[in-house]
Every structure is written in C-alpha cells, then in structure tokens.
Amino acid sequence: MKQKRMKVCVIGSGVNGLISAYCIANCFPHCDITIISADQEMGKCSKHGFGSVMITRPLRIMDSVDTLKYTQQTREYCQNMNQEDAKAAGIQRLESFSLFNFHQNEETAEKGGDSVPTNEIANLFKSGENVRQATNVEMREAGFVADNKKLVEVMGEKSITKDTLEGYIGYHYIVDTNLYLPWLRHQLTEMAHSTSKEKRVTFVDRKITSWNDIGLCDLIINCSGLGARELCDDPFVIPIRGQYLSVSCPLKRCYRANHFIIVPRTYDTVIGGSYQIGRWDQQIDPKDTEKILRDAAAVYPEVTSSDIKLVDVGVRPGRIGGPRIEIEYVDVKNVKSKVPVIHNYGHGARGFTLFWGCAERVAELASGLFLPHEKL
C-alpha cells in the first residue's frame, strides 16, 4: 500500500522560508513541500541583506531572548559546511574590525552600571571567533584615533577620547546573499523522492491573504515577513527601512562602527547604516546616500573612491519582541480539523544572522508534532 505523503506548505521565499523548507525536507524525507510567495523573485527582501553572521547592534526591543543562541547555531552551520559548498553558496570567514566608544550617562554612572557598549562587546565575543582587543598600533594604522573628528558622527557620540575609543578584531562568517539564495533554491529543486524520483519541492507564485488561500496540507510554515502583519493580525510587526550601497572595492576585512558596517562579498562590497524603524518607503534618499559615504570616509576612506555599482533600499520585517517562532492551530477551508502553523517571521535586520538557528527550531517543533516519541 502506498504510504501517504505528508504535505507541507511554506509561505515566503526569502532566506527564512527557503531554509525552513530545507530543514523540514531533511527532517521528513517523505514529505512534499509547496513554497508559496507573491513574488518568486529571489528573496525580494533577503537579497538586500548584508549577510553578516554577527551581532552588530545592541540587543533591544526588536530581539528575543534566543537571539544569541540562534546566531551561534547559524555560525556553526557556516563552520561545518564543506569547502566546495561554501564557495558555491558564497559563505566565507572574514576578519572583522569593530569600534566601540565607552561612556556612561549620569544615571548609569550613579547606579554603578556598566558603560554602554559592554554587552555589545560580550555578544561580539560570543558570536565570533578569536575575538580580541585591537592594539594601539592596529588602531592607529586603521586611522581609528580620538582626533579623527569624522568618527564622532559615525559613532553617534558628542565626543571621543583615547580613553573611551576601543577596537576589537575577530573572525565572523559572511553569507553572500546574491550567491546563497540561488544556491539554496537549487538544493530544494533537486530534492526528489528516492523511489519515484518525483520532485519534492514545488514553487507557486501566489499571494496569501488568509489561511483559506492555502488549500489542503498537514503543516504550514509561516515565513511571510512583513505580510504577517495582516495575515496573522500581528501589530508587533514593524517595517525597518535600510538603504545601502554596493561598491567595487575589494576588501578582506569587515568594518563596523555603531550602525555603520562595511561587508566584502564575492563580487562587491556593501556599505550602509540606515536603520529606520516604521518606514515603508523604498525610494532612494540622497541624504541617506550622503550619510553613508561620509561614514565610509571616516571608517575606510578607500571605499569612497570606488565605483558605486548600486544604491538600493530594502524594508526588513522587524517585530517587537523578536522573531515569532511558535505553533498555532488555524482553520483552513475544506479541512475538517485545525491545521498546525509554525510561525517563523519578524527577524528584522538579523535575517541572515539567525536564519539557520531559527530553521532548526522550526524543524524541532515540527518533529514534536509529527514524529513518534519513545515512552519514558
């Protein structure tokens, strides 16, 4: 008798939708997966990501308690990928130079609290490899000195002194979004059932506005990003606008200062720093471009003399409280019982920082629903 195949529907074809489908396919080798997206262009939002697997912003209201754990799991995924696949997927291990300006506001100082970036540095150590403090010589050679007035604006500070400015050097993984997304999609399209050789993964171009649009399935994986605001009636989903530049400046090191970051990729280098919560517009803002170039001149001046290949804008799906990764049961038209939905959306600017860790959690939740468990 032919075994009934489990049917899984994944909403969203960005990095989190694709990698969730990949993990589910490996967890359930006999399932069929349909990936539904209104725009099957290669990760409309994800392609704008810098692909840095490191924590480059303070953990705040847009993060969950699992942010660091998911980051570490994603780093391990990159570490464990074989050399051939890593090259094809655009994953590389690069040195990074991060700047911090230590200061205390009056309230924190009175309470005897830590200086502002202490937790950021701790997370840098935990998300990277071989992280250490830069020497005075390395700081001077990079031009990171207190009398570099351009750094004041980049760091978002009123002043910088030799006693407050510190740099940290380590290694982090970079995922080239232009290479990884097509590579991952190819992995999915090549999946086939061992006996029949039928394709296991199908891509459908369709907008999902309600659960009734999905059809018959046993499990829904919701990676709808900003679309979850309406689909799930989730008021915590918030747009985060980011503008960035792609330049033809070959580098072997990442630079990070406050919200500004320079990331070398396989065929270009991306620079940016716009992090505008609540903005939906995707028009290029000349003022943002000017600000990015000013920051670049302070951190790595050579970038500003390079040819600009692209100026673009992406709107990330942020969420107050961080990514939503949990099970919900919903009614679907023509399905007698409620269908389980595993949500995986709201990653904000950390989509590529968290993607593998979040997908592993999705697969873990699915396993708890469908795989048999041994009795204690």
- Taking the chain (376 residues) in runs of 10, the rounded mean pLDDT of each run is 80 96 96 89 66 83 94 97 97 95 54 57 90 95 85 79 88 96 97 91 95 94 97 97 93 90 94 91 95 93 92 95 97 90 96 97 96 57
Catalogue all structural domains in the chain, each as residue range(s) with its CATH number: 7-48+178-235+321-370 (3.40.50.720)
- For 123-147, letters b (16+ CB in 10 Å) and e give bbeebbeebeebeeeebeebebebe
Name the one residue in this structure whose structure tokens are 């506001």: 105
| Alpha-carbon span 81 to 177, nearest angstrom | 16
The tokens describing 76, both together, are 């391990």
Q: What is the pTM of this model?
A: 0.91
> Which token pair is 157?
């500070």
The per-residue pLDDT for 108 is: 43
Determine which helix (DSSP H) or strand (DSSP E) holds 228, and give its type and residue range.
Answer: helix 228-231
Residues 6+ apart with CB under 8 A from 293: 245, 304
The alpha carbon of residue 297 and the mean position of all alpha carbons in its chain are separated, in whole angstroms, by 26
* Token output for 283: 């028009």
Task: Spell out the residues 6+ positions from residue 21 whose beta carbon is closer than 8 angstroms to its own.
Answer: 8, 10, 33, 35, 188, 201, 221
Q: Please, which residues have CB within 8 angstroms of residue 183's CB and are 6 or more apart in sequence?
A: 85, 88, 89, 90
